[in-house]
Structure 1
Amino acid sequence: MAEWAGPEGFTTRRDSIVAEPVVGGRYESVMVSDTDGIEYRSAGVFREIAEPERLVFTWGDPTGDGAADRESVITVTFADIGDGKTTMTFHLLAPGPLSPEDGAAAGWGQSLDRLPRVL
């Protein structure tokens, strides 16, 4: 995760990644801006784990209080398309409209663009 998570210009601190990958389990990580060193904490809860087809988790609520106005729900599905290849579908349900200034959509896109390099 440290090799691919986070938008361009950020590094996910390897020592910050904590995860309990069971339904109801929490995860957290810290991204650090490469330009100014500011840290951004993210946390969430695993809502569904259906190996190997589906993963659902909340994202973006570093307080851990589950406030719906701060957390998005991420659903990732995987489908075997043969020849050792898999299609991944990523869906982000935000608590409100995403704007270009928000950076969430661009950040996730940049993270997912880097993922194939580490697989």
Structure 2
Amino acid sequence: MTESAADRELVITRMFNAPRERVYQAFTDPDLLSRWFGPVGFSVPRETIDFDMRVGGLQRFVMVSDEDPDFKSAVNATFTEVAENERLSGTETWEDGTMDLSFEFHDEDGGTRLVLRQGPYTEEMEAMAREGWESSFTKLDALLA
């Protein structure tokens, strides 16, 4: 069986040395999200963030290149599941289509195990997304320290 052009799911499992509630808050508090989201070299200006943390609610913000402020990437998502400190799921939309995204937050070894699922991706885009998330999570590690 061959893989179609865009049927790969990105799955990342990451441990954070912080309580589950604190990691969840970093994803749901606009002030905190603005301090870590986006790969190294990108930032999210606080004034671009708009959250409505409920099923059917929206999440919107803009990543901006630190090197070229004219290069921007908007994130527009609708929440399909919001279980405080446990799970966030939604659908992201952009001009080329839609993508599913979920975050699961688990207590483990005194910290938090995060499981991220996102897709569908092409193989090339999945690799780029993985690199971007890993870079973002490095910034989140620093924030949680």
TM-score class, shorter: 0.7 to 0.9
Task: Choose from 45, 68, 79 the match for 1:46.
Answer: 79
Write the letter of the residue equivalent to 1:80: D
Q: Which is bigger in relative contact order (C-alpha 8 A, separation at least 6)?
A: 2
Residue in structure 2 matched with residue 104 of structure 1 by the alignment: 129
Deviation at 1:28, TM superposition (A): 0.5
Residue in structure 2 matched with residue 66 of structure 1 by the alignment: none
Give the aligned length.
111
Determine the C-alpha separation between the residues in 1 that align with 2:126 and 2:67.
18
TM-score computed with the length of structure 1 as normaliser: 0.80
Deviation at 1:19, TM superposition (A): 0.5
Structure having the larger proportion of residues in helix: 2
Structure 2: state its 5+ residue gaps: 1-32
CA RMSD in angstroms comes to 2.1
Determine the C-alpha separation between the residues in 2 that align with 1:27 and 1:115.
19
Sequence identity (%): 32
Is the contact between residue 98 and residue 104 of structure 1 (CA under 8 Å) also seen in structure 2?
A: no
Residue in structure 2 matched with residue 88 of structure 1 by the alignment: 114
* Structure-to-structure mapping, 1:1-119, within 5 angstroms: 1-37=33-69, 38-59=71-92, 61-62=93-94, 70-83=97-110, 85-94=111-120, 96-99=121-124, 103-119=128-144
Determine the C-alpha separation between the residues in 1 that align with 2:126 and 2:85.
34
Structure 1: state its 5+ residue gaps: 64-68
Determine the C-alpha separation between the residues in 1 that align with 2:113 and 2:102.
14
